[in-house]
Structure 1
Amino acid sequence: MDCDREINLRRVALAGGRHALALTAAGTRSADELAGRVRGLYAWLRLRPEQSVGLWLASGYDFLCAFIALALAGKRIVMPHQMQEGAVRLMGDHFAALITDQPVAGFAGPQWLPAQWPAACDSEPDASAFSREVELVLFTSGSTGDPAPIRKTLAELESEIATLESAFGREVQDLTVIATVSHQHIYGLLHVLLWPLARAAAFLDTPCHYPEVLASEVLRLEPAILVSSPTHLSRLPESGVFTEAAERLRVCFSSGGLLHERHARAFAALNGRAPLEILGSTETGGVAWRRQSESSLWQALPGVALATTQEQCLQVRSAHLGDPAGFTMGDKVRFAEDGRFELLGRADTIVKVEGKRLSLTELQKRLEAHPWIEEARAAVVRGRRDEIGVVLCLLPAATGRLERGGRRALNQALREYLADYFEAPLLPRRWRYVQALPRNAQGKVLAADVLSLLEERQS
């Protein structure tokens, strides 16, 4: 793909081709099959009165067909971040119909299943279908857990694909994509479906959630690309079945959170190189990248302009952000002389307890630096007396200590460790030990979930 020319995904999809596009349970689907199915669905959708359509499909191939058909028909494409009935009620005002394989009992509008779609056809959309602006609505859980709509355009996604191609096109080429993440969110949508479509690469139709399934697919499809998240990459190197497969991966992408240096090193020991981490958000799209086997600093993606506010928060401007005013992220950074930068933590993690300022991010980092702690999250529990609480995942070395000495002894040992860095009023008073931190479908730990655990007071 020539990354200097404008990308039009609707034209790419209808251009077809004999090359493999999607590897499904029912067999390989070619680009020609996609084009025919998209035309049939488009011809039907353009006659429907509903202008906003929700899209939720487990099959990446089905999802891509519906996504392109909706774009050609000029519909607003709404991507719910989950499909529980209560969540759909909260988001329901944003779409009048649903294309889904998971019907929702409480949704009043029409719901169209893939089995009900019209047959493929060869009718050609009119010229305006390829150029009209297409709006997308995605949702982010934010820090509270409530779904917040984020509006983007198809043109912005196409611009981001051009950016990714400019940065990593030589590495990914036309290799098959295997994912552990969902295409229902912007990271998976771009990396698993839309970018492969643009560069005529194939993708595995559904995510691989288990190491043995992932390993089998990597060995079958090598050399391949893995699109994953820190949640999965923290566990994969521990799986014996994944060890051989890791060597066969050409590139691994990670996004949706920060990959711990320990986990980056463990992956690099198997693959030779650490994953390519993409920093960004639903609002900004991709912002910067790094590969920790080369550097811990972040490098801006091509065409992304970065600056900082007086509070050291990262300011972003890019073509795929859309808003010329840019966007200020909640991440504090420090720039190096060469333009790369270090993440210093979230600005919104500065809290006051008993009149003293505390960075929850610093507290979490101090805990994670301790040889007993795998992951840590901190929060303020408000009440008659505000208290700092922490939720911790222990490394194996500390699990036996917890069983032998009990939680009180472990709490006290960690308090004594933290006392070297923080004043007494800022030391945790509530401690929860869990096997895994609570994460949403995007692999993020929400502040509301951490607080909920801490409010179930056990110590």
Structure 2
Amino acid sequence: MPSSADAPRTLGGLLAAAADRWPDRPAVEQGGVRLDFADLHWQTGRAAARLAAAGAGPGATAVLLFDNTPDCVVAFLAAARTGTRLVPAEPGATLTQLTTLAAGADGPVLIGRAERLAALDAAGSWPGPVVETDGLPQAGPADRPAPAEPGGDAPFLHQFSSGSTGAPKAAVHTQHNLVQGALIYRTTFGYGPADTVVAAVPLLHSFGMVAGLVTSLLTGARLVLLGRFTPGRLLGELHRTGATVLVATPLACDLLARSAGAAAAAGPLALRLCLSSGAALHPATAERFAERFGVRVSQVYGCTEAGIIASRQPEPAAGPGPEGAPAPAGDVGRPTPGVEVRLVDETGADVAAGAEGLLLVRTPAMFLGYLDRPGTTAEVLRDGWYRTGDLARLDGAGRLHLIGRKDTFVNVGGKKVNPVEVEQVLLGHPLLAEAVVWGEDLPDGGQRVRATVVATGPLTAAELGAWCRKRLQPHQVPGGVEFAAALPKSSSGKIRRAEVAAAAGDRSRTYDHGGTRS
């Protein structure tokens, strides 16, 4: 298995090495379709030739409607082989959204499954070539050679952030960045050819792409794609495949644990590792998962720009039962191998040991910058250090504790309120499943704390106000509460905080502490 010094620098290089070492081992499967590493390598070469003939290549841009299917994995790897600049897109994106993602590109290539392209009427509306993933390796002349392997340091991936706190931006990564991220996962979590990895997250986002797909290519692990998520389907796949690694969101972990009443009848799972990212892992979810499956969830903290930053892995158990204890709120573990962190004050000076500060990170998997945003790039990327926007502290054991995001703090009469702290108090209520807190701008220029919550039973805003007043200072207590059936999320499970705030501001019906839930 290659070390960091001799690992290939491209995705094509990883795939070629895997096909040489494990040709007959299953590489990727979903819904009855299975490709071994030799098949995946062959199909990727043929698909790359087809994409190159359609206009993909160095200097070109392609947009991939990235479903969690083997044919989309082939298309993704084929695009990498051509050296094109690739934009992974949500499979359900509209034509307007896709056009925005490809803005500025000359004749961009649109790649997707036939049924989705037909639903978009892409053939008649897209300003460039349209290529179906269905049967892509078999399309075109049989004797057309695959393009030459590109360099690993050229811009490759235009990966848009979730936009959970504002407008999304495209973080530009090289193929070498992705390989470096996979090396960190391998070192941290011990992936190997004996593992079967079930990806219950979208491959189009950083977590699923690197923790699921690229790390499996690097290590020879078998990757199983879930497709459409339901707790029952996920549990069935974990049993059917004998999965040893689960890549999921906190919500998926929670739903899986809650619906696993029949798990004992089906026998124990073979899971040795569950990785969770995309949102904070609530201690109650971690505890419930450990009780059901005998495995503690390892929380992964990272971002689109830098990849994995830290992970909280289970500590040795003090007695019988699952290893370790659930993480305290905000504890995201220790920085992963190869990742450096700094905490600085507003002037950029390092803070004292144990003090809170702005979190800066430096990692081999770092992005190049934001697409067409040199000013924004210069603000957040200085001397190789990325300013995450998170406030954090390091404890004496080297564990990283997230305090919140500086740009989401609410200014109440000159006092700063951390939304994360208020959310944690709200989520302690036994009848709340989800909560998001933000600052509402007032006519006098100040702000007040607002919250939108998802309840699991009858509950009033007055009752929530009383709950918060016992646990928070007066200026921290939400001055308005709105109940919702669900909160808007990205496909990676992250709550879209800005969207919640905007929607609440547009509604005429709101709830104050005297209101009730209808």
Of the candidates 13, 16, 41, which is equivalent to residue 14 of structure 1?
16
Task: Indicate the residue corresponding to 2:63 in structure 1.
Answer: 54
Task: Indicate the residue corresponding to 1:99 in structure 2.
Answer: 111
| 1:2 and 2:8 aligned | no
For residues 131 and 319 of structure 1, do their structure 2 counterparts lie closer, same or farther at Cα, with a shift above 3 Å needed? closer
CA contact (8 A) 2:438 2:449 kept: yes
Task: Indicate the residue corresponding to 2:36 in structure 1.
Answer: 30
Amino acid at match of 1:86: T
| 1:189 and 2:209 aligned | yes
Of the candidates 149, 172, 176, which is equivalent to residue 155 of structure 1?
176
Determine the C-alpha separation between the residues in 1 that align with 2:96 and 2:109.
17
TM-score of the two chains, using structure 1 as the length reference = 0.89
Amino acid at match of 1:31: F
Q: Deviations over 1:279-304 (max 9, x none)?
A: 00001100000036356341111000
Amino acid at match of 1:110: P
Task: Indicate the residue corresponding to 1:214 in structure 2.
Answer: 234
Task: Indicate the residue corresponding to 2:371 in structure 1.
Answer: none
- How much does 1:24 deviate? 3.3
For residues 173 and 43 of structure 1, do their structure 2 counterparts lie closer, same or farther at Cα, with a shift above 3 Å needed? closer
Task: Indicate the residue corresponding to 1:351 in structure 2.
Answer: 410
Task: Indicate the residue corresponding to 1:254 in structure 2.
Answer: 276
Amino acid at match of 2:15: A
Task: Indicate the residue corresponding to 2:98 in structure 1.
Answer: 88
For residues 26 and 417 of structure 1, do their structure 2 counterparts lie closer, same or farther at Cα, with a shift above 3 Å needed? closer
Of the candidates 427, 430, 435, which is equivalent to residue 368 of structure 1?
427
Determine the C-alpha separation between the residues in 1 that align with 2:15 and 2:145.
12
- How much does 1:127 deviate? 6.0
- How much does 1:166 deviate? 1.1
Deviates more, 1:449-458 or 1:422-431: 422-431
For residues 224 and 87 of structure 1, do their structure 2 counterparts lie closer, same or farther at Cα, with a shift above 3 Å needed? same
For residues 195 and 242 of structure 1, do their structure 2 counterparts lie closer, same or farther at Cα, with a shift above 3 Å needed? farther
Amino acid at match of 1:288: A
Q: Match of 1:334, SS? A: strand
- How much does 1:117 deviate? 2.5
CA contact (8 A) 1:174 1:199 kept: no
Deviates more, 1:113-122 or 1:21-30: 113-122
Determine the C-alpha separation between the residues in 2 that align with 1:371 and 1:206.
31
For residues 131 and 125 of structure 1, do their structure 2 counterparts lie closer, same or farther at Cα, with a shift above 3 Å needed? farther
| 1:319 and 2:364 aligned | yes
Determine the C-alpha separation between the residues in 1 that align with 2:289 and 2:486.
20
Determine the C-alpha separation between the residues in 1 that align with 2:391 and 2:385.
16
Of the candidates 285, 289, 300, which is equivalent to residue 263 of structure 1?
285
Deviates more, 1:12-21 or 1:151-160: 12-21
Of the candidates 179, 191, 198, which is equivalent to residue 199 of structure 2?
179
Of the candidates 439, 452, 455, which is equivalent to residue 394 of structure 1?
455
Q: Match of 1:249, SS? A: coil
- How much does 1:369 deviate? 2.9
Determine the C-alpha separation between the residues in 1 that align with 2:287 and 2:242.
22
- Structure 2 unaligned regions, length at least 5: 315-323, 347-356, 369-382, 512-518
CA contact (8 A) 1:92 1:107 kept: no
Amino acid at match of 2:40: L
Identity %: 25
Determine the C-alpha separation between the residues in 2 that align with 1:215 and 1:424.
44
- How much does 1:412 deviate? 2.5
CA contact (8 A) 2:86 2:157 kept: yes
| 1:458 and 2:510 aligned | yes
For residues 145 and 87 of structure 1, do their structure 2 counterparts lie closer, same or farther at Cα, with a shift above 3 Å needed? farther
Determine the C-alpha separation between the residues in 2 that align with 1:423 and 1:12.
54
Deviates more, 1:308-317 or 1:383-392: 383-392
- How much does 1:354 deviate? 3.6
For residues 119 and 370 of structure 1, do their structure 2 counterparts lie closer, same or farther at Cα, with a shift above 3 Å needed? closer
| 1:303 and 2:303 aligned | no
Of the candidates 223, 237, 243, which is equivalent to residue 257 of structure 2?
237
Q: Match of 2:232, SS? A: helix
Q: Deviations over 1:288-347 (max 9, x none)?
A: 000363563411110001110115111100111156521011221111123222222222
Amino acid at match of 1:374: A
| 1:146 and 2:167 aligned | yes
Amino acid at match of 1:97: V
For residues 231 and 306 of structure 1, do their structure 2 counterparts lie closer, same or farther at Cα, with a shift above 3 Å needed? same
Q: Match of 2:188, SS? A: helix
Of the candidates 372, 378, 384, which is equivalent to residue 437 of structure 2?
378
Amino acid at match of 2:79: L
For residues 206 and 273 of structure 1, do their structure 2 counterparts lie closer, same or farther at Cα, with a shift above 3 Å needed? closer
Amino acid at match of 1:278: V
CA contact (8 A) 2:164 2:494 kept: no
Q: CA RMSD in A?
A: 2.6
CA contact (8 A) 2:27 2:34 kept: yes
Determine the C-alpha separation between the residues in 1 that align with 2:180 and 2:127.
35
| 1:202 and 2:222 aligned | yes
Q: Match of 1:364, SS? A: helix
Q: Deviations over 1:326-381 (max 9, x none)?
A: 10112211111232222222222222134433222222222223444333211222
- How much does 1:241 deviate? 5.1
- Work out the number of aligned pairs and report it: 447
Q: Deviations over 1:55-78 (max 9, x none)?
A: 123243222222222222211111
- How much does 1:81 deviate? 4.1
Determine the C-alpha separation between the residues in 2 that align with 1:242 and 1:138.
39
Q: Deviations over 1:211-257 (max 9, x none)?
A: 11112111111143211001211221110356346633221111111
Determine the C-alpha separation between the residues in 1 that align with 2:214 and 2:39.
16
Q: Match of 1:142, SS? A: coil
For residues 260 and 19 of structure 1, do their structure 2 counterparts lie closer, same or farther at Cα, with a shift above 3 Å needed? same
| 1:281 and 2:303 aligned | yes
Determine the C-alpha separation between the residues in 1 that align with 2:34 and 2:235.
20
- How much does 1:413 deviate? 3.1
- How much does 1:79 deviate? 1.4
TM-score of the two chains, using structure 2 as the length reference = 0.79
Task: Indicate the residue corresponding to 2:375 in structure 1.
Answer: none
Determine the C-alpha separation between the residues in 2 that align with 1:161 and 1:49.
29
CA contact (8 A) 2:390 2:403 kept: yes
